[in-house]
Structure 1
C-alpha cells in the first residue's frame, strides 16, 4: 500500500488531481476512525474527516516523503478532531441514543464477541466502565492512549501525529495508564 500511496502522492504533486480521489478511497475509513475516537460523534467525525482531506489536498506540498503519508494524514485528522473537541466540550453518556438509530445507545453499538449471554453482560459492563474511565482522562493523556492501544500506532507515529517528542508521548501514555488504574481502584468493586 505504501508504494501505491507514494505513486498517488507523486501524481497529485505533478498535477494529476484524479489521484487524490484514490488516496481518499484508501484512507477514508482510517481518517474517520481517528476522528471518531477523539470526538465520539459520527456526524462530527464525518465532518472532521472531510476537513482533513481538504487540508491534505490544499497542503500536499508540505508533505515530507521521508514520513509515511498515513502518519501525516492521521496527524491532520488528529489536529482537526482536537480543534473540534476544544470548541464544543460536551458531556457524553454511553446510555445516550445515537441519532438516527431508532433507540440504539452507544453501549448497544459496542461490538460483543462473547458467546454466552452472561459473559456478554459482564463484557459490556467492563467495556462500558473502561470507556467511561477513558473519557475522564484529560485529552493530553486520552489521545495518546487511544492512538497506542486502539489504533496500534508506534510511539514514533504518535509523536509525529501529535507533534510531540517520543519521550513525552511515552510519559503521557504511562501517566494515562496510571490515571486509569487510580480511577478503577477508586471504583467500588475494583479494589
Structure 2
C-alpha cells in the first residue's frame, strides 16, 4: 500500500504540472527544511547546504515534468540534493588535500558543539565508517527512508543497501564496544 504522504506529494506534482504555483509552494515548504538538513549532514556547512538546496530546487522545478512517478517526489528530490551535496563534499575534499599539501599536512579539525557524551561517541564512531555506510545509516535512521527508497536515492540495488546497513551496524557495535573497553586495554595481555 502506498504511503498517503507520497500520494499527496504526487497530487501536488500533478497540480504544479497543471499550472498551480500554490502546489509548488506547498512542496517547497514541506521539503525545503528537510533538504537543507539533509545537505548539511553531508557538508557540515549551513551556508553551503542552503546554496545546494537552492540550486537543487532549480533542477527539481525544471525537471518535474519528467518525473515518471509523481508519488516518488520526495526520494527523487533527496536524490538530487544528495548528488549535489556529494559533489560539493568531493570538491571541498580535493581543495582540502591541496591545502594540506601546501601547509605541510596540517589539518584543521572541525569540532562539533554537542555536549551529550553518548551522542558524541556515536557520531565519532559513525565518522570512522566508510562514507557509503554513513550515508545509508543516515537515510535509514534519521531520514526514515525505506530500503527501497534509499536504493532509489543512491541508485544502488536494495541488496547493496541491506549489506551496507548490516555492515555499518556491526562495525558500530564493535567500535562502541571497543571504546567502552579502551581505558582498560593497556592492562590486557596479548594486545598488538
Common topology (TM > 0.5)? yes
- Superposition deviation, residue 173 in structure 1: 0.9
Q: Does 1:44 align with 2:48?
A: yes
Question: What SS does the corresponding residue of 2:164 show, helix, strand or coil?
Answer: helix
Distance 1:34 1:5, change over 3 A: same
Of 114, 122, 127, 2:119 maps to 127
User: Do the aligned residues in 1 keep the contact of 2:125 with 2:172 (CA within 8 Å)?
Assistant: yes
Q: Which runs of 5+ in 2 are unaligned?
A: 97-107, 186-192
Q: Which runs of 5+ in 1 are unaligned?
A: 96-105, 109-123
Match of 1:71 in 2: 75
Any idea what the Cα deviations from partners look like across 1:33-71, whole Å, max 9, x if unmatched? 211222222112111211221110111122122642111
Question: What SS does the corresponding residue of 1:107 show, helix, strand or coil?
Answer: coil
Distance 1:3 1:148, change over 3 A: closer
Where does structure 1 differ by over 4 angstroms across 4 or more consecutive aligned residues?
none
Q: Does 1:87 align with 2:91?
A: yes
- Aligned residue pairs total 166
Alignment of 1:118-157 (within 5 A): 124-157=116-149
How far apart are the structure 2 equivalents of 1:71 and 1:146? 14
From the CA coordinates, give the structure whose radius of gyration is larger.
2
Q: Greater relative contact order: 1 or 2 (C-alpha under 8 angstroms, separation 6 or more)?
A: 2
How far apart are the structure 2 equivalents of 1:186 and 1:135? 15
- Superposition deviation, residue 14 in structure 1: 2.8
- Superposition deviation, residue 157 in structure 1: 0.9
Of 8, 18, 21, 1:14 maps to 18
Distance 1:47 1:66, change over 3 A: closer
User: Do the aligned residues in 2 keep the contact of 1:74 with 1:161 (CA within 8 Å)?
Assistant: yes
- Backbone CA RMSD of aligned residues: 2.3
Any idea what the Cα deviations from partners look like across 1:149-184, whole Å, max 9, x if unmatched? 111211011111111110000001111122223333
TM-score (normalised: structure 1): 0.76
Of 147, 151, 162, 2:154 maps to 162
When you count helix as a share of all residues, which structure comes out higher?
A: 2
How far apart are the structure 1 equivalents of 2:46 and 2:70? 32
TM-score (normalised: structure 2): 0.76
